[in-house]
Structure 1
């Protein structure tokens, strides 16, 4: 399992490292991916990037207050979601930042330490 030194810790779930294709969040391993809010982390069976829609991230959209943006980790490499997904998020007033899942895991810690109101969807690292 790879580990990295987390940035200053904010309240809520902290990504502590990687385990296989998944993530170690606090003291729990999320083998298949994760959805994160400032308060919670839940296991996520992500669809293929081409099939990603708002239903797949419904728990994040229900978060109050509405997130500034969704941090989307697309696995081992950066892959773009469909324009329809991006437009649907924008229609809800939520921005989108897309990066590979390792970079997204690091960005989560940095942005949460800054107190940013964000949510994240992290796909397995080996996708």
Structure 2
């Protein structure tokens, strides 16, 4: 699916599909094919190997971003993080919302375009 965001200074997701997410537009467009964290202030880094490999240390990386809310895109279906995993976010008083990766991409764009300090952590499960 292709997304056409309104003009915004925030890093935006411009498309997504099985195993990939598009970031930016024009000459700066990039297709990312690994699990990734994106932030509305321009943060971008590779994240976690798979859902089964997640642990508190992965969510501590998100807490260190000091955003208002983290959106966790858990892949093609909703898989909730264990309470122990998200403890670093709770301690930092950062909200977390879990949804499938497609919904996470759309929600991130909306919040980022509103000027919110938000990060999205995306699990990009590779198609079989």
Give the TM bin, normalised by the shorter chain.
Answer: 0.7 to 0.9
Per-residue displacement from partner, 1:41-93 (whole Å, max 9, x unpaired)?
53524233344234225553333xx2111110001011001111223310111
Q: How many residues align?
A: 123
Bigger mean CA offset, 41-50 vs 24-33: 41-50
TM-score (norm 1): 0.82
TM-score (norm 2): 0.81
Residues 47 and 53 (structure 1), Cα distance of their counterparts in 2 relative to 1, 3 Å cut: same
Pairwise CA RMSD of aligned residues? 2.1
Per-residue displacement from partner, 1:70-126 (whole Å, max 9, x unpaired)?
110001011001111223310111111000000000001111111111111011054
The residue number in structure 2 matching 1:73 is 73
The residue number in structure 1 matching 2:16 is 18
Cα shift at 1:20: 4.3
The unaligned stretches of length 5 or more in structure 1 are none
In structure 2, how many angstroms separate the alpha carbons of the residues matched to 1:12 and 1:58?
Answer: 23
